Structure 1
């Protein structure tokens, strides 16, 4: 651990900054995790794109299709590949609470910087606040590592800003990935100040959130490595311009990515986000590979449409 439990908030405030990306996991044709491919991607993301941190083994990474041992190995590969050049936040999310703790302890032991745990799906519960607070408190009580909350619609409910602010008082809660309507995360930001990082996965809202809410952290999704190349780092560039207070220039750079956003969005089949994202990575020269069952692969026609849109979107390779 690079910090003591009671110093987790201060450490994250200083070190958990900039653009963090959620990693898609490359799998081989036989279904095994492509460890060399993941390491190759991580090296490109850090050295070529200057991504500051990586969200490992989340929904983008198909954690739901992986065994506990595979998830632990995924953590280890990321820590080894980052080698102090970028931060790591490991998804310890699971419906089984013992699994959450096992993964959290492994993340702490193998040298990860933080973990993220999404709000659990709850059964027979109509007023979740006390239960969800106790859920995060129980995790905090068991580990020392900094923890990010994560609220999204897949849980069947959204954590209210008031609940998030209450949980933010726990000593090693350092951030939240808040996948909610903007008015909710704006309200939470004003409630917690700089006590924890508040962030959302929307790249299209990132610049406005830097300017209007003084956000310091993008946590996190795949656009940082899907909308950029080593010679065309416009997300990085508009972020740095915004951090420097050069807002009009930042907006011009941000808006220039609209054709890339449209090409990606308009070719993504609704039921195949991971497969589409991996194929887009391959078009960029990164390691993609197939998705694991029961997810669906792209058809040849879907690949052709994606390739045509990619070639016309204006990204420089």
Structure 2
């Protein structure tokens, strides 16, 4: 009997990057290699494409569709979720339909950047309804970091969203343990079958201790074996082993996601892959730029610690 989409969310799902050439075009050969390498790791259950790590803000719709199509080709047996990220609900709905047609099993709906300033809850509901009405696949919420202003949904709004049957899960990235637990309890109280994926790379161990069905994380695109090992240790309730893996991962997670200036995670992820010999070019689309020498040295030390 085939597993449902929600059943297949269990475990580790890697949020992949998109390699670029010097002229900022997508390097499809390098993308295929990246996806194949991650997908081949035992314990990787799925891929999150066109997320923040995949530079979804700066890719065209056609490029995002191509990313999905290539991933479907290179990882036919994995669950594929694609991000949908647009300021316009009309564009988001059209993009969602296009990504479904390209092979996505589900869609992760990112909140538009403008919502960080302020928004009406009814606008959020309308945005998700328009994507729902244009597509047929399951939808996931993106739980933004609490530091992202009103882009992070309130409890009342999460409850309303969870009542929509087509919305079945959340990539919970509050990046704060107390908020994670509060949202998890709220959503599962509203709808027990709703799936909460603890996906804050810096505090995966805490999320696994509190409870989660899995994670969609970009660390799993850099050190997938370690993230799978952490998940499996937590599932076995071997907390001594899990803590040991967490201690190896923590400096790397902090170097990628927390160190100032903010918003540099994708650049640092690409640099890590370059340092590992898995990526020849760490070019990003402007306005982002490759890691500085200082960032690169910090990342090298953190990688050495994680892989020692």
Find the aligned partners of 1:238 and 1:125 in 2 and give their Cα distance. Answer: 36
Decide whether the 8 Å contact of 1:20 with 1:55 is kept in 2. Answer: yes
Inter-CA distance 35–260: structure 2 relative to 1 (3 Å threshold) = same
Partner of 1:218: 215
Inter-CA distance 155–167: structure 2 relative to 1 (3 Å threshold) = same
Partner of 1:6: none
Find the aligned partners of 2:104 and 2:116 in 1 and give their Cα distance. Answer: 35
Are 1:242 and 2:234 an aligned pair? yes
Deviations 1:215-256 (A, max 9, x none): 111123x2113235xxxx232112112112333332233234
Inter-CA distance 239–40: structure 2 relative to 1 (3 Å threshold) = same
Inter-CA distance 268–18: structure 2 relative to 1 (3 Å threshold) = farther
CA RMSD between the two structures:
2.9
Are 1:183 and 2:172 an aligned pair? no
Partner of 2:275: 283
- Which of 198, 201, 204 is the equivalent residue of 1:203? 201
Are 1:151 and 2:149 an aligned pair? no
Which stretch shows the higher mean deviation, 100-109 or 45-54? Answer: 45-54
Find the aligned partners of 2:193 and 2:199 in 1 and give their Cα distance. Answer: 20
Decide whether the 8 Å contact of 1:23 with 1:61 is kept in 2. Answer: yes
Partner of 2:168: 174
Are 1:34 and 2:27 an aligned pair? yes
Are 1:134 and 2:131 an aligned pair? no
Find the aligned partners of 1:121 and 1:270 in 2 and give their Cα distance. Answer: 15
Q: CA deviation at 1:53?
A: 1.4
Partner of 2:70: 77
Decide whether the 8 Å contact of 1:238 with 1:250 is kept in 2. Answer: yes
Are 1:90 and 2:85 an aligned pair? no
Inter-CA distance 88–179: structure 2 relative to 1 (3 Å threshold) = same
Q: Secondary structure at the match of 1:132?
A: helix
Decide whether the 8 Å contact of 2:177 with 2:207 is kept in 1. Answer: no
Q: Secondary structure at the match of 1:195?
A: coil
Alignment of 1:13-28 (within 5 A): 13-28=6-21
Decide whether the 8 Å contact of 2:275 with 2:300 is kept in 1. Answer: no
Are 1:292 and 2:288 an aligned pair? no
Partner of 2:265: 273
Deviations 1:50-82 (A, max 9, x none): 322111112211122222211221121111111
Q: Secondary structure at the match of 1:48?
A: coil
Partner of 1:252: 244
Which stretch shows the higher mean deviation, 89-98 or 269-278? Answer: 269-278
Relative to the length of structure 2, the TM-score reads 0.86
Deviations 1:186-225 (A, max 9, x none): 1221123242222343223222222222x111123x2113
Find the aligned partners of 2:67 and 2:116 in 1 and give their Cα distance. Answer: 34
Find the aligned partners of 1:307 and 1:133 in 2 and give their Cα distance. Answer: 40
Could you list the runs of 5+ residues in structure 2 that have no partner in the other structure? Answer: none
Decide whether the 8 Å contact of 1:168 with 1:195 is kept in 2. Answer: no
Decide whether the 8 Å contact of 1:260 with 1:310 is kept in 2. Answer: yes
- Which of 160, 164, 179 is the equivalent residue of 2:158? 164
Decide whether the 8 Å contact of 1:264 with 1:306 is kept in 2. Answer: no
Find the aligned partners of 2:110 and 2:208 in 1 and give their Cα distance. Answer: 24
Decide whether the 8 Å contact of 1:264 with 1:310 is kept in 2. Answer: no
Q: Which has the larger radius of gyration?
A: 1
